[in-house]
Chains A and B, each alone.
Chain A
Amino acid sequence: MERSIIHLNIADFAVAVEKLIDSSLKDYPLIIAPKGSARAVVYDMSEEAFQAGIRKGMPLRKASRICSSSRILPPRFDRYEQAMRDLVKQTLPYSPFVESGEGDGHLFIDITGTSRLFGPPVDVAWRLNKKIKQALSLNPIWSVAPNKLVAKVATRLVKPVGEYIVGAGEEKEFLKPLRIGLIPGIEKADLTRLKEFNFSFVSEVLAMELEHLKISFGKRAMFIHDTIRGVDHSPVLAVTQSKPELRADHEFAEDTNDIQILKSALYILTEKICLVLREKRKAAEKIKIEINYSDGLRNTAQMMIRPVTANELTLYTKTLSLLDRSVKRRIRIRHMSLVCEKYVFPQIQMELFEKTNRKRENIIKTIDEIRSRFGYDAVKPGITKLALQG
């Protein structure tokens, strides 16, 4: 059955929410960035500030120099999350399948099969926009498309205001003239490789057969092949259906950028995740790390785990590399989270040659046994000492 997905995208969401709370900000270029931090960077900015040359991630000092008339506000994530909840509430009468981003002003609504009840999908999208304008004074860009991928690209094209309708069957033609960098899911490494072939536009990559793509992109070939043709079967999750993920958090008693303490905390998080995984008889396949700095900014990094594992000694070697990738600033860190975004049943095929894995498994098994008898604190790996002391 043909799907009808609405994507709502509120441009410069943090700015839009701040302006909503304080209408006196309406006439000023606005920058959202943590104050009082020497190396703070821009988290979000208004359209006026963008036009003046300010960009996300730009050092605040530079941004203030470029646009001296701008007002600067610290990010207030709780407000953005509340605004997201209000947005979701407006859409629920039309569908239970509403998937929202994390306080970023993005919403997907699946209204497939509702046209006899609510009318044509495009009319639903327009009415939703009107309703949100009236109730929340926010003006989302909207698009209607047969899947999330195409709907997302469509709103990107009309930023900061507007709408875009793409019919089923038009996906490929719609994406054809666009720059490859506009397509979600195409990663930096893919872009670099495509650049080596002198490819900048979707139309150029479309000329390549899957077999040719496989030579250069290996396992990524199929994904690239489908994505540039606008093929995306991913469902819009129901609002009640939380993402099947496991999460562990660590709040530092004092903000720190001491790498040993960070590593120590990371081990604790890895251990917590693996413990739950083992209880579920599952293994981690995709892991994400989230770093919250003391100036309010956030960095994330994620990776696929191959082979899948629920052993913290093995997984820790992977999460360490994630930590290395995500800690790029010299600002102190306040909070660290480890998220297992995807977990699966572990492989049951035995290793042909016994490796150290068996030894690691035995250690973990023994620790689990001790803890099950004497409690979690009965035994602690030495590496966790630093973080626990902090």
Chain B
Amino acid sequence: MSQDFTKRGCDLMIGTSGYSYPEWVDAGFYPKGTQSGKMLSVYSKVFSTTELNYTWYQMPKAQAIERMCKNMPKDFYFAAKLTRTMTHEIDPDLWKAQAAQYKDGISPLVQSGQLLAVLLQMPPYFNRSQKNRSYLAYLIDELCSLPLAVEFRHRSWAQDSVFAELEKRKVALVSVDEPDLPNLFPKLDVVTNPDLFYIRFHGRNKDAWGSGSMQKQFDYNYTDKELDEWTDTKLEKMTSKTKKGAIFFNNHVRAQAPENALRLISRLIKTGKIQDRQAEDINGTLNNPFEHS
């Protein structure tokens, strides 16, 4: 018999990876005519957390982050991706300066207490070589003042020694839901940080994975059965070990991500894993835009 996650003292936050997608207007998640600069405020009426995607493309700027937070509810939380120049396009001479720049840029979120985690998303070719291990260790040390979560795409990192090291540093290992492919990181429910677990749903589009097209790779709609694989087993375990849990859907194509996130929430309510009251807390008014479109 499952137990209400809140009763165990675990706050669950569910949202999507990024929120600024013009195609979500066509898909009915955002009302017609919503400008990208206004999307976050609409989004925050539905979800209580988001993963900032743009910080991967662009070094965050304190002024812009401050501007973004100004009109957001105080209990809305952000996870922010680490900029690509420290994960995918690493310059050995510049990354340290960039880490410092990143910390400065993200500081308004730290000060307001709205930073859930900084996501270090390592690329598929970032395998567990000696060089990469030491780079990651240095990078984590450099960013240790921030709450961190590391996502591996390469299977070679799925080792107990890696998990133990992350545990020692209180860094959350990102659990991923992605296609079962030979070199990809497996779906695990390992918790390495008692403060936070972090799950990302990328979709299971096996054929388009690695196609180089985001529109194909993340075009996937989770079935109820696939979502239940997590709620019935993995989430049970993970919520019992942490104070907070963050779940993000990255299958953004045609607004499948927000639809799946809302469906996950409603399934959690239905199965008694979270109460309506808690659902309201974590997801505002439980406003489902798809029901009106």
Question: Which A residues are closer than 8 A to B by beta carbons?
Answer: 2, 4, 113, 115-123, 125-126, 146, 162-165, 167-170, 173, 177
Q: Which of B36, B39, B63 has the most CB of A within 10 A?
A: B36
Q: Bound state CA distance, A170 and B26, in angstroms?
A: 21
Residue of B nearest to A119 (CB): B214
Name the CB-closest residue of B to A121: B22
Nearest CB in chain A: distance from B103 CB, A:
18
Tell me the complex Cα distance, A117–B38, Å. 23
Which of B20, B58, B215 has the most chain A CB atoms inside 10 A of its CB?
B58
How many Å lie between the Cα of A4 and that of B23 in the bound state? Answer: 13
A169 contacts B59, C-beta separation under 8 Å: no
Please tell me if the beta carbons of A169 and B38 are within 8 angstroms of each other in the complex. yes
Report the minimal beta-carbon distance from B183 to chain A, rounded to whole angstroms.
22
Q: List 20 A-B contacts (CB under 8 A).
A: A2-B22, A2-B35, A2-B36, A115-B22, A116-B254, A118-B215, A120-B18, A120-B21, A122-B53, A123-B57, A123-B214, A125-B57, A126-B57, A126-B84, A162-B58, A165-B57, A168-B36, A169-B38, A170-B67, A177-B63
Do residues A164 and B58 form an inter-chain contact, with CB atoms below 8 A?
Answer: yes
Residues of B within 8 A of A125 (CB): 57
**B182 contacts chain A at the CB level, 8 A cutoff:** no
Residues of A within 8 A of B92 (CB): none
Cβ of B2 within 8 Å of any chain A Cβ, yes or no, is no
User: How many angstroms from the CA of A121 to the CA of B215 in the assembled complex?
Assistant: 12
Query: Which chain A positions have C-beta within 8 A of B20?
Result: 120, 167
Considering the complex, give the chain A residue whose CB is closest to the CB of B39: A167
Task: Give the chain B neighbours of A120 by CB distance below 8 A.
Answer: 18, 20-22, 53, 214, 252
Chain A residues within 8 Å of B214, by CB? 119-120, 123
Give me the interface of B with A, judged by CB distance under 8 Å. 18, 20-23, 26, 35-39, 53-54, 57-59, 63, 67, 84, 213-215, 252, 254
Q: How far is the CA of A168 from the CA of B18 in the complex (A)?
A: 16
Whole-angstrom distance from the CB of B176 to the nearest CB of chain A? 20
Chain A residues in 8 Å Cβ range of B63: 177
Bound: A350/B113 CA distance, A: 71
User: Closest approach, in angstroms, between the C-beta of A147 and any C-beta of chain B?
Assistant: 12
Assembly CA distance A120 to B54 (angstroms): 10
Q: Is the CB of B215 within 8 A of A168?
A: no
State the CA gap A263–B28 with chains docked (Å): 64
Q: Is the Cβ of A163 less than 8 Å from the Cβ of B215?
A: no
Could you say which residues of chain B place their CB within 8 Å of the CB of A170? 37, 67
| Docked complex Cα distance between A219 and B189 (Å) | 66
Which chain A positions have C-beta within 8 A of B67? 170, 173
Q: How far is the CB of B218 from chain A (nearest CB, A)?
A: 9
A116 neighbours in B (Cβ, 8 Å): 23, 26, 215, 254
In the complex, chain B residues whose CB is within 8 Å of the CB of A119: 213-215
Contact B18 A165 (CB under 8 A): no
Given contacts A169-B38, A170-B37, 18 further A-B contacts (CB under 8 A): A2-B22, A4-B22, A115-B23, A116-B215, A116-B254, A118-B213, A119-B213, A120-B22, A122-B53, A125-B57, A126-B57, A164-B58, A165-B54, A167-B20, A167-B39, A168-B35, A169-B35, A170-B67
Q: Across the interface, which residues of A come within 8 angstroms of B22, CB to CB?
A: 2, 4, 113, 115, 120-121
Distance from B226 Cβ to chain A, minimum over Cβ atoms (Å):
24
Residue of B nearest to A2 (CB): B35
Cross-chain contact B58 with A167 (CB below 8 angstroms): no
A177→B61 CA distance, assembly (Å): 14
Choose from A2, A113, A163 the contact partner of B57 (Cβ within 8 Å): A163
A121 to B53, CA, bound (A): 12
CB distance from A3 to the nearest CB of B (A): 10
